[in-house]
Structure 1
Amino acid sequence: MARNTAALSRRREWTLRVVCSVGEICVTLGIVALLFVAYKTWGQLGELQDAQAELDHALEQQWTGLVAPDPTVDQPAAAPGTTAPRDRVATEGQPLVRLSIPRLGLRWVVTEGTTQQALRSGPGHYRGTQMPGEIGNFAVAGHRIPGVFWDLDELAAGDVIEVEGPRARYTYQVTGTRIVGPNASAELAPLPGQTGAQPTESRLVLTTCNPKWDNYQRLIVEAQLQSETPRG
């Protein structure tokens, strides 16, 4: 009888140890998962800031020597459907312009392209869409992470979006926001949301994943050009 009691006691002790060990492993895995999510969400902010600093320096070097066109000299003809000729075709990942949203207190260097590699360093310009100041749609994508488009849903009609190019600064005003499906492409048309329509104004579209923490929708912010001033 005493032997059976001792065996039962050892079995219970062993079971308790196993349960405690499994519990500790589960807690540890949960903490690791939370730390990973925190790193993916906030921990990459330092890397993003470093990348943006390098891009800003590269952009300034790229713009060095560029001057505003002389109005007394004939300039190259504009590309069809645009208001100004492009200096060159940008390569993937090349810094293009500075974009800032005063309401969010943020500014970025926008690079060419929207591949995962290009978007790691900040917002990217959809290849094939117009450039700032051109008639049509200057479309930009960004990850829904802190430091990029995390709070893009806070923008509302009337808010200002500023873009600085090599020769001019452009001020856009937000006209509205909307939610679309993850594969919607009409928002990238020259006239956002109206594929095949002929644009007559300069517009800007910002896109990012929606909601936060997921990507089964897209958040779209639309804006219209209000003013253009030469860059001094």
Structure 2
Amino acid sequence: MAILQAPPPKSSPGRGRKTVRTLGELLITAGLVILLFVVYELYVTDVFSAEKQANAASTLEGDWAKGRELHPELIDGQAFAKIYIPTFGADYHFTIQQGTDEKSLEVGPGHYKGTALPGEPGNFAVAGHRVGKGAPFNDLDLLSSCDAIVIETQTDFFVYRVLPHADEIAGWATGKGRDPKCRRVSTLRTNAQDGGPYGQTVGREVVTPDQVTVIAPVPHRAPDLLPPAQQVALLTLTTCHPQFSDRQRLIVHAVLTNQYPKGNGATYAQLLQALGEG
């Protein structure tokens, strides 16, 4: 008759196999952690920032309705203006906070302290996130020359338009510069040799993070190059570049072309119609 025999003992995995399995488990865990972090940065922070943005807008509108004077003493972290970019849709709008610290930028775009205020000669400079935390400047690279950027304050709407891009300057006068919406947009150059004080100021550029002179009163120039009375009223928007990286900065420069007082309850929708972009 057959004799029952115990099965041979299972061989234990070697040390190398255990190491590979442990390493694999660690990589999977690390991958999940990274995935959760990405989800948090891309989506969860957007939810938090949307709530903060709504609160900031409500507070700002309440201050304006009460006639509170917000200038010239701006308060760190508090909103004092709004930004609209018609190219991004009629619903695109964010408050602008005073300061560019992380707490301010979690609410929305932030004003570089020490730069000009809306409508003033010099350079009104604003920073914003490109990914996560509301990502107000996610599509900044899609702006074209002459596209409008509207800044609303307690008393006025200021319309800035993106300056010519570097590859458009040579043929601007006979090319795109003839477009009706470009009527008040020039290259800002004053001579053919060096372009004058604004010879390095173009509508879009990519720089390294240490090139802080892009937000100088005259971009890329010494702060005291021109007295305020001779400075052009500019708007500069800055954000990280490329997307998902802070290795560089994407810069958009725009020039003030119109100012509309907010008399008789004027609204942004009415302004869009006046601009022919509604």
TM-score surpassing 0.5?
Answer: yes
Distance in 2, matches of 1:131 and 1:31, equals: 45
Amino acid at match of 1:121: V
Distance in 2, matches of 1:100 and 1:170, equals: 10
The answer (yes or no) to whether the contact 1:163–1:171 under 8 Å persists in 2 is: yes
Matched, 1:192 2:219: yes
Matched, 1:227 2:258: yes
Gaps in structure 2 of 5+ consecutive residues:
1-7, 164-202, 266-278
Distance in 1, matches of 2:108 and 2:13, equals: 56
**How far 1:135 moved relative to its partner?**
1.1
Amino acid at match of 1:46: V
Cross-structure match for 2:167: none
Matched, 1:183 2:210: yes
TM-score (norm: length of structure 1):
0.82
Amino acid at match of 1:54: N
Matched, 1:111 2:97: yes
| Structure number having the greater strand percentage | 1
Cross-structure match for 2:273: none
Cross-structure match for 2:174: none
Distance in 2, matches of 1:43 and 1:17, equals: 37
Amino acid at match of 1:197: L
Task: From the superposition, tell whether residues 16 and 181 of structure 1 become closer, same or farther in structure 2 (CA, over 3 Å).
Answer: closer
Cross-structure match for 1:43: 44
Cα RMSD after superposing both structures:
2.4
Distance in 2, matches of 1:42 and 1:159, equals: 29
For residue 115 of structure 2, give the secondary structure of its aligned residue in structure 1. coil
Cross-structure match for 2:159: 171
The answer (yes or no) to whether the contact 1:66–1:167 under 8 Å persists in 2 is: no
TM-score (norm: length of structure 2):
0.69
1:63-78 aligned at under 5 Å gives the runs 63-66=64-67
Gaps in structure 1 of 5+ consecutive residues:
1-5, 69-85
For residue 30 of structure 2, give the secondary structure of its aligned residue in structure 1. helix
Matched, 1:12 2:13: yes
**How far 1:96 moved relative to its partner?**
1.0
Matched, 1:91 2:75: yes
Distance in 2, matches of 1:48 and 1:225, equals: 29
Identity of aligned residues (%): 35
For residue 24 of structure 1, give the secondary structure of its aligned residue in structure 2. helix
Distance in 2, matches of 1:157 and 1:59, equals: 30
**How far 1:65 moved relative to its partner?**
3.4
For residue 137 of structure 1, give the secondary structure of its aligned residue in structure 2. strand
For residue 39 of structure 1, give the secondary structure of its aligned residue in structure 2. helix
Task: From the superposition, tell whether residues 67 and 36 of structure 1 become closer, same or farther in structure 2 (CA, over 3 Å).
Answer: closer
The answer (yes or no) to whether the contact 1:172–1:224 under 8 Å persists in 2 is: yes
1:52-75 alpha-carbon deviations (Å, 9 max, x no partner): 10000110111123399xxxxxxx
Cross-structure match for 2:244: 213
**How far 1:141 moved relative to its partner?**
0.6
Query: Mean Cα displacement is larger for which, 120-129 or 20-29?
Result: 20-29
Of the three residues 99, 120, 129, the one matched with 1:134 is 120
Amino acid at match of 1:136: G
The answer (yes or no) to whether the contact 1:67–1:167 under 8 Å persists in 2 is: no
The answer (yes or no) to whether the contact 1:101–1:107 under 8 Å persists in 2 is: yes
The answer (yes or no) to whether the contact 1:119–1:142 under 8 Å persists in 2 is: yes
**How far 1:17 moved relative to its partner?**
6.3
Matched, 1:148 2:136: yes
Matched, 1:31 2:19: no
**How far 1:217 moved relative to its partner?**
1.3
